[in-house]
Amino acid sequence: MRAQFVFHEVWIGLRRNLTMTVALVVVVAISLSLLGTGLLFVKQVDNTRQFWQSRVQLSVYLCTKSELGGTCAKNGAVTLAEENSIKNELEATHDVASIQFVSQRAAVKQFREEFASDEPIVKYTASSQIPPSFEIRLKNTEADAGPVSSVMDGAPGVSGVIDDASILDQFYRLLDSARNAVVIIAIFLLVAAIMLVANTIRLSAFNRRRETSIMRLVGASNFYVQLPFLMEGLIAGLIGWLVATGLLIGAKSLLLSSLRSVFPVGVQLSTADLIEVIIVAMILGLLICGSTSFLTLRRYLRV
């Protein structure tokens, strides 16, 4: 095989078809990067879901002196007797796997650690404002928190019950719909990319009909006749993929930083995830461009 000859032909083809080639590269790049972003979203959701699944719990916050929610306004800060009766009631409730009491001192310590970077908040929050709580883990992490809430809501000394899962659900819904939107756009663009590949190859075949007719006449093998066209599609796909890779690397850092600002803990996307997505995008891009070129060629360059 004369590689130099084939590449020369490919170069001529790409150059003669410059506008089509550029359009193809742009569409492939955008569709692949959108699809990649969608995949990154999926990975992100999976990662956080795993991370939080093991940590999801119910928090039963108890009254402090300054707290006004629940029964607190009437009764004031929680008493030791109230704490004990709450604990007993929780232990008797179906579905509760473990109960952990977080004293006010422990809660203050944790609060100061989590907001260490945000000095004013720490400074202006009095220790007495941080409520002690019972952290409850359910036997089944996906179960409804209803029974516990109904027992605890309004019990003396309880200011409120917060189910972590309900917070996470909102977060997941946000991620899921963002992902769906991105993937749907990507699919439309991929369809456009397929049609563009077909059109580019068709134009290219038309531009070079003299050459190909002579090639067929003097007995060039199908491989030789079709390879330059196939390569044209593949090279455009490859360049599109390279651009998409750049966009994805940008998207990853952007996505991460914006998610971090909304949801500070447990949001992680490793480089390995990114590489995986980029490889998937490459395979998909080459597959789409290659197979479309090949199928188009079979129609326009019959022996």
Residues at the interface with other proteins (CB under 8 A) = 1-2, 5, 210-211, 213-222, 224-225, 303
Q: How far is the CB of 298 from other proteins (least distance, A)?
A: 11
User: Residue 255 corresponds to which tokens in the numbers above?
Assistant: 């996505």
Q: How far is the CB of 268 from other proteins (least distance, A)?
A: 53
Q: How far is the CB of 214 from other proteins (least distance, A)?
A: 6
Nearer CB in complex with other proteins: 115/300? 300
Nearer CB in complex with other proteins: 221/253? 221
Contact 63, 55 (CB under 8 A): no
CA 291 – CA 84 distance, rounded (Å): 70
What single-letter amino acid sits at 206?
Answer: F
Q: How far is the CB of 215 from other proteins (least distance, A)?
A: 5
Q: How far is the CB of 212 from other proteins (least distance, A)?
A: 9
Q: How far is the CB of 229 from other proteins (least distance, A)?
A: 14
Q: How far is the CB of 208 from other proteins (least distance, A)?
A: 10
Nearer CB in complex with other proteins: 2/123? 2
Contact 182, 85 (CB under 8 A): no
Q: How far is the CB of 299 from other proteins (least distance, A)?
A: 15
Largest CA distance in the chain: 100
Nearer CB in complex with other proteins: 217/272? 217
The sheet carrying 133-138 orders its strands as 96-102, 133-138, 58-62, 158-163
Nearer CB in complex with other proteins: 186/215? 215
Nearer CB in complex with other proteins: 123/302? 302
Nearer CB in complex with other proteins: 230/269? 230
CA 277 – CA 247 distance, rounded (Å): 12
CA 70 – CA 158 distance, rounded (Å): 6
Nearer CB in complex with other proteins: 224/294? 224
- Residue closest to 60 by CA, chosen among 79, 80, 87: 87
